[in-house]
A and B are shown apart, each in its own frame.
Chain A
Amino acid sequence: MPSNAHVIAKSEKSEKTWAELTDNQHKVLAPLASEWDTLRPWQREKMLDIAHDYPKMDSKKQELVQRRLNRWSRMTPYERENARKNYQKFQSMPQAKKDELRKKWKEYKQLPQNQRDTLMREHPEIYKDQELEN
């Protein structure tokens, strides 16, 4: 089936199994070793992009990347998309604001789990508008 070659060529990059990755890619993506072959092709491609940008970062950031890779790979595409959007907003904040948010995140993580669960479930009273029902 000749047209099959087309498909394979197109997704060659993302079809690579763990064994087929380069040493450098192995090093960066090591936290994903056990689950790599189960990632969806599109995801693999995004992960390879991460490996590509990795050398441009300082060692502290590189460590963060590695620590967060697993969680990142398990988020839904929709969550990742939202995270990208908010990350961009975060990036445009002045450093003082960034620090403040980071502090808040730390405080939030220290709240007891049940309090965080309640927050998550809580039905907010922010339907300012009567837009929802009438």
Chain B
Amino acid sequence: MATVQELSNFLAQVERRAFKQVAYAVRDDHAALDIVQDAMLKLAENYSSRPPAEYPMLFQRILQNTMKDFWRRQKVRNLWTTLFSSFGSGSEDDDEVDILETLESDDYDDADEPQAQLEQKQTIAIIEEALQKLPARQREAFIMRYWEDMDVAETASAMGCSEGSVKTHCSRAVHSLALMLEKHDLTKRVLEKKEGRDESGT
């Protein structure tokens, strides 16, 4: 059985990425936090006897299933808020944050920010928007392979598909993202080797 320290390290390491990953899929920060929390609990309760090396794959698999549960229960969950808001006080709904909207408004609000930083923020917003628009399987494959740094076999195992499918999903995802960057004329900004912007201290 893994030690508390091992589990703690693993969770601390993946939690922020996991949150983002889920937020891209469900587009609701609160729901994303709930899903990540459920997934963490399930990992701790049901799989903590497995070797820590398997955690990334297991956690991804649990995340996928928890998200599926979320879609399935979406109506059910909404029930509590629907019933509530039909009485007009509806404070619950005010909590909902649309990520894209937030990012967009950030872009407009930050007029004083140094240009390079602003550019980077805009680029990230566009990438995140593109990620949200990707078909779910492509997005998951992309995130696991490239962000979580899992190999093709692990990704396939977490997604319950063949390694060939993983490669296809990844390839299509990268193509779509690259196209989107091109469309916004950002290819140079993201893909050119020189990254003086990063080091020049914005």
Interface of A with B (CB < 8 Å)? 77-78, 81, 85-86, 89-90, 92-94, 96-97, 100-101, 124, 126-134
**CA of A132 to CA of B70 in the docked complex: distance in angstroms?**
11
| Interface assignment of B146: CB less than 8 Å from any CB of chain A | no
- Measured CB to CB, the closest approach of chain B to A87, in angstroms, equals 10
Interface of B with A (CB < 8 Å)? 25, 34, 38, 41-42, 45, 67-68, 71-75, 80-81, 83-84, 87, 89, 91-92, 135-138
Chain A residue nearest in CB terms to B137: A134
Known A93-B83, A132-B68: A77·B41 in contact at CB below 8 Å: yes
Chain A residue nearest in CB terms to B42: A78
Contacting pair B84 A93 (CB below 8 A): yes
- Measured CB to CB, the closest approach of chain B to A40, in angstroms, equals 11
- Measured CB to CB, the closest approach of chain B to A41, in angstroms, equals 15
Chain A residue nearest in CB terms to B64: A132
A131 in complex: contacting residue of B34, B71, B89, B91, CB < 8 Å: B71
**CA of A101 to CA of B82 in the docked complex: distance in angstroms?**
12
Contacting pair A77 B135 (CB below 8 A): no
Could you list 28 examples of A-B contacts with CB < 8 Å? Answer: A77-B41, A81-B41, A86-B80, A89-B80, A89-B81, A89-B92, A92-B84, A92-B91, A92-B92, A93-B83, A93-B84, A93-B87, A94-B84, A94-B89, A97-B83, A97-B84, A97-B87, A100-B83, A101-B83, A124-B72, A124-B75, A126-B73, A126-B74, A127-B72, A128-B74, A131-B67, A131-B71, A134-B135
**CA of A132 to CA of B137 in the docked complex: distance in angstroms?**
8
Chain B residue nearest in CB terms to A126: B75
If over half of A's interface residues share one DSSP class (helix, strand or loop), that class is named, otherwise mixed; here it is loop
Known: A93-B80, A93-B87. 4 other contacts (CB 8 A): A94-B89, A96-B87, A126-B75, A131-B71
Q: B87 — which chain A residues lie within 8 A by C-beta?
A: 93-94, 96-97
- Measured CB to CB, the closest approach of chain A to B38, in angstroms, equals 7
Contacting pair B135 A130 (CB below 8 A): yes
Contacting pair A132 B136 (CB below 8 A): yes
**CA of A78 to CA of B43 in the docked complex: distance in angstroms?**
11
Q: A126 — which chain B residues lie within 8 A by C-beta?
A: 71-75
Chain B residue nearest in CB terms to A131: B136
Q: B135 — which chain A residues lie within 8 A by C-beta?
A: 130, 134
Q: A127 — which chain B residues lie within 8 A by C-beta?
A: 71-72
9 shortest interchain CB distances as A-B pairs: A134-B135, A89-B80, A131-B136, A126-B75, A93-B84, A97-B83, A94-B87, A127-B71, A134-B137
- Measured CB to CB, the closest approach of chain A to B141, in angstroms, equals 11
Contacting pair B83 A78 (CB below 8 A): no
Q: A100 — which chain B residues lie within 8 A by C-beta?
A: 83
